[in-house]
Amino acid sequence: MNGELGYMASVRTYLRKETFPSAFCSGCGHGILGGALLRAIYELGLDMDKMVFVSGIGCSGWIPSPYFAADTLHVTHGRTLAFAAGVEAFRPDLKVVAIGGDGDLASIGTNHLLHAARRSHHIATVCANNGVYGMTGGHVTPTTPLGARTYTTPAGNPYRPMDLCRLMEAAGATYVARHTVYHTPALVRMLKRALLHEGFSFVDVISPCPTQFGRRNRLPSPWEMMQFLRENAIPLEQARERSPEELEGKIVVGEFVGGEK
C-alpha cells in the first residue's frame, strides 16, 4: 500500500493543484486517460520540462490544459496536429504530444491527421475517442457507432463508423494501437510505447461519455458504460479469427502497427 501511495503522490507532481476540482463530467473517461498518460510519463522517467502538449477544442482539450504542470498549447479546433508539427519543426529537442477528440482529429482535422502520419512527424498522438461531440451538444462524429443515437441522429446513426487505426495504418503511421480506459494497465503500456516511438505514433483510446452518449443509448450510468467496454473489447489476435458479423458492435483492441511480434 505504501508503495502505491508513493507512486500516486509522484504522479500528482505532474498536476497543477490550483486547477482542481476537475471540470470533467462525472464518469467521463478523459480523466482516466489523462491519468494513464501521466503514469506512462512517470514510469518512463521523462522530463516534463522537455515535453510540450498540444490539444484542440473539445472535452479532450482539457486533458493536458489546464491540468498538466507542463508547457501546453490549447489551439484551434481541428488544427491540433498542424500546431504540433510547427512545434516539432521549431523545437526538435522537445517531445511533442498531441491530444484530440474524435471530432477534432477525425472530422475537421482529418487532413492534418493523414498527412502527419504520411510524413512521419515525430509526434505522439492520442485520440480521446468517445464517439460523440461531448462539449458542443452531443452530435454525431465520424466514429459514432452504427445505429447509435446522438443529438443530430435521434433515430440512430445511419453511417458506418471510421476505423481510425486502420486509417492510420493505411496512411503510414509506424506505431498504431487502440485500447479502452477500462483496461488501464494495457493502455499505459501502449502509451509508453507511443511516447518512446521514433516517428508518428497513434493511440486510439475509447473513452466513455455518459452525459452526451450514454444517456441517449441506454447506458445512463458510468458503471454501465465501463461494463460495456469490459464486455465488448476483443483482442486483435482473436478478432482476426472472427467474421465481420461476429465483430459487429465489438471494440477491437491491440497494436495494429509496430507492436512486439
On whether residue 209 sits in a domain, the answer given is yes
On whether residue 195 sits in a domain, the answer given is yes
User: Could you give the 3-state DSSP secondary structure of residue 7?
Assistant: helix
Model-level pTM? Answer: 0.94
On whether residue 3 sits in a domain, the answer given is no
User: What is the extent of the structural domain holding 167?
Assistant: 23-257
Counted domains in the chain: 1
Per-residue pLDDT tens for 51-94? 999 999 999 999 999 999 999 999 999 999 999 999 999 999 99
Q: Which amino acid is at 60?
A: S
pLDDT at site 1: 47
Residues of the chain with pLDDT under 50: 1, 260-261
CATH (domain of 74): 3.40.50.970
On whether residue 102 sits in a domain, the answer given is yes
pLDDT at site 12: 84
pLDDT at site 8: 66
pLDDT at site 107: 94
Q: How far is it between the farthest Cα atoms of the chain?
A: 51
- Give the integer Cα–Cα distance in Å for 252 and 42: 27
On whether residue 149 sits in a domain, the answer given is yes
On whether residue 16 sits in a domain, the answer given is no
On whether residue 17 sits in a domain, the answer given is no
pLDDT at site 7: 65
On whether residue 13 sits in a domain, the answer given is no
Name every residue whose Cβ is closer than 8 Å to that of residue 85 and which is 6 or more positions away in sequence. 112, 116, 119, 121, 123
Give how far the C-alpha of residue 68 lies from the chain's centroid of Cα atoms, to the nearest Å.
16
User: Could you give the 3-state DSSP secondary structure of residue 260?
Assistant: coil
pLDDT at site 9: 66
Within a 13 Å sphere around the CA of 206, how many CA atoms are in the beta-carbon half? 28
pLDDT at site 111: 95
